[in-house]
């Protein structure tokens, strides 16, 4: 598939994700972390307009000069912007306006990509694909939050179907020997700057579980009083549990004595065989401590990744999100992509049921603050 075709495919996928929505669902922002779907659709378009069309297509005429202010996310280099918490206060541009904007930019991009593109710009375009794929995952998680926090609990789509995963039931922990391991991306194809440089890490012997912790297993933690015993928690996690009165994963509701969870099909009885999901790092850590185990580091995870199935949940690791040896930021706005977030966040490895196919890889480093739960997060134990 050439670049122009791949462009169309990526762009259509974003719109396909939104196709079950009502116009109103595109607009709201119930918490700061969740952006309105129409903002995602506009922002990913602005990315191609700002970083490809405006600098490299001389005949290109900007669609609307005020959109930079509306759709810039966090690029300080590219001017001022609507503050993040205000995204849900904007009724305009409308959904129709934004689809027109997409159409306009898509035509210009397609035309441009059918031409002869220098390698350096090709790289930027491919970065744009990966960027849009990241927002596709956010579209899924943000839509879940918007509908799942509505008192009417509407379904997103009854046609939604998560990929099926075989569980390695009762399987033994994988034994990994003490050794020097090579960590980080190498080879052809795209990777983010935070996966570089590939470098050596010395690991002691360790064991890692071949499967994710299930809802049934997590229920044992709840039922044994895990949310009420400070000994399992970080000091900061304990404060978080108490300040937010957390008693279960996000989207769980105890109705007449039976646990339910909100899913893309609406409110459903809890699937106890499924992997526990929508838990914070604090909860993942506390669960592991309660079990007498721990979370793997991102290096342990990557070194063993070929030995287990992954891709169902983003797995919290014990590793802080830090630069690899030799990491350097690209110059200009693109350099703001990853490096400036490398403090007070944790690395998650793997992928989730809403990660676009082919987007992730064994060296991929996702990262979030320790209290966030609206992503499809999960737990893999180590010891």
Beta bridge partners of 346: 320, 368
- Contact flags string 3-42 toward a copy of itself, x per CB under 8 A: -------------------xxxxxxxxx-------x----
If DSSP codes are grouped into helix, strand and coil, which group holds residue 318? strand
d(CA 130, CA 123): 11
Q: Angle CA(25)–CA(350)–CA(233) in degrees, nearest 5?
A: 85
* Min CB(216)–a copy of itself separation in Å: 27
Residue recorded with tokens 């970080």: 234
57 vs 320, beta carbon nearer a copy of itself: 320
* Min CB(89)–a copy of itself separation in Å: 4
Helices (H) and strands (E) in the chain, counts: 10, 11
* Min CB(308)–a copy of itself separation in Å: 21
Q: Are 193 and 369 in contact (CB under 8 A)?
A: no
89 vs 122, beta carbon nearer a copy of itself: 89
Widest CA span in the chain: 66
167 vs 329, beta carbon nearer a copy of itself: 329
Q: Which of 115, 118, 119, 151 binds a copy of itself (CB under 8 A)?
A: 151
Beta strands 258-263; 199-203: pairing state: unpaired
Q: Pseudo-torsion of CA 261, 263, 266, 271, nearest 10°? A: -50
Scan residues 156-175 and list those touching a copy of itself (CB under 8 A): none
The region of 41-49, 99-107, 168-176, 200-208 touching a copy of itself under the rule CB under 8 A is: 200-208
Q: Which of 1, 152, 243, 255 binds a copy of itself (CB under 8 A)?
A: 152
The region of 141-149, 156-164, 269-277, 304-312 touching a copy of itself under the rule CB under 8 A is: 141-149
103 vs 383, beta carbon nearer a copy of itself: 383
Scan residues 301-340 and list those touching a copy of itself (CB under 8 A): 318-320, 322-323, 325-326, 340
Residue recorded with tokens 């690991």: 203
* Min CB(335)–a copy of itself separation in Å: 8
Q: Are 312 and 350 in contact (CB under 8 A)?
A: yes
* Per-residue CA distances from 126 to 5, 131, 200, 233 (Å): 12, 8, 28, 41
If DSSP codes are grouped into helix, strand and coil, which group holds residue 312? coil
- 16 φ, ψ (degrees, to nearest 5): -65, -40
The region of 5-13, 117-125, 201-209, 246-254 touching a copy of itself under the rule CB under 8 A is: 201-209
Q: Which residues are CB-contacts of 192 (< 8 A; sequence separation ≥ 6)?
A: 130, 337, 338, 364, 365
Scan residues 236-265 and list those touching a copy of itself (CB under 8 A): 236-238
* Min CB(23)–a copy of itself separation in Å: 4
200 touches a copy of itself by CB under 8 A = yes
- 158 φ, ψ (degrees, to nearest 5): -75, -10
Scan residues 54-113 and list those touching a copy of itself (CB under 8 A): 66, 69-70, 74, 76-77, 82, 86, 88-95
Structure tokens at 10: 């990526």
4 vs 333, beta carbon nearer a copy of itself: 333
Q: How many residues bind a copy of itself (CB under 8 A)?
A: 65
How many Cα atoms sit within 13 Å of 154 on the Cβ side?
Answer: 11
Residues near a copy of itself (CB under 8 A) are: 22-30, 38, 66, 69-70, 74, 76-77, 82, 86, 88-95, 146-147, 149-152, 154, 180, 199-204, 230-231, 233-238, 281-282, 285, 294, 318-320, 322-323, 325-326, 340-344, 370
């Amino acid at each position: 598939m050439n670049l122009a075709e791949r462009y169309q495919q990526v762009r259509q996928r974003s719109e396909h994700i939104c196709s079950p929505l009502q116009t109103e669902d595109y607009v709201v922002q119930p918490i700061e972390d969740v952006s309105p779907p129409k903002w995602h659709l506009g922002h990913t378009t602005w990315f191609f307009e700002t970083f490809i069309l405006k600098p490299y297509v001389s005949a290109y005429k900007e669609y609307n000069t005020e959109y930079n202010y509306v759709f810039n996310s966090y690029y300080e280099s590219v001017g001022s912007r609507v503050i993040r918490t205000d995204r849900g206060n904007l009724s305009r541009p409308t959904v129709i306006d934004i689809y027109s904007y997409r159409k306009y930019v898509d035509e210009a991009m397609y035309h441009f990509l059918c031409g002869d593109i220098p390698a350096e710009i090709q790289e930027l375009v491919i970065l744009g694909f990966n960027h849009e794929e990241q927002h596709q995952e956010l579209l899924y998680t943000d839509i879940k939050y918007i509908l799942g926090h509505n008192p009417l609990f509407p379904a997103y789509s009854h046609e939604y179907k998560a990929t099926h995963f075989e569980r390695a039931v009762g399987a033994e922990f994988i034994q990994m020997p003490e050794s020097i391991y090579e960590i980080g991306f190498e080879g052809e194809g795209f990777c983010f700057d935070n996966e570089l440089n590939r470098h050596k890490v010395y690991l002691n012997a360790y064991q890692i579980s071949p499967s994710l912790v299930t809802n049934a297993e997590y229920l044992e933690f709840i039922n044994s009083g895990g949310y009420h015993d400070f000994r399992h928690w970080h000091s900061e996690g304990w404060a978080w549990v108490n300040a937010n009165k957390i008693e279960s994963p996000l989207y769980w509701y105890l109705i007449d004595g039976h646990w339910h969870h909100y899913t893309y099909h609406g409110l459903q009885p809890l699937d106890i065989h499924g992997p526990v999901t929508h838990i914070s790092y604090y909860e993942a850590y506390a669960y592991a401590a309660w079990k007498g185990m721990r979370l793997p580091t991102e290096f342990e995870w990557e070194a063993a990744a070929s030995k287990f199935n992954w891709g169902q949940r983003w797995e919290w690791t014990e590793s802080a999100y830090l630069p690899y040896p030799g990491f350097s930021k690209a110059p200009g706005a693109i350099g703001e992509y990853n490096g400036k977030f490398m403090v007070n966040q944790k690395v998650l490895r793997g992928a989730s049921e809403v990660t676009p196919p082919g987007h992730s890889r064994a060296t991929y480093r996702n990262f979030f603050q320790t209290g966030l739960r609206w992503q499809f997060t999960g737990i893999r134990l180590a010891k």
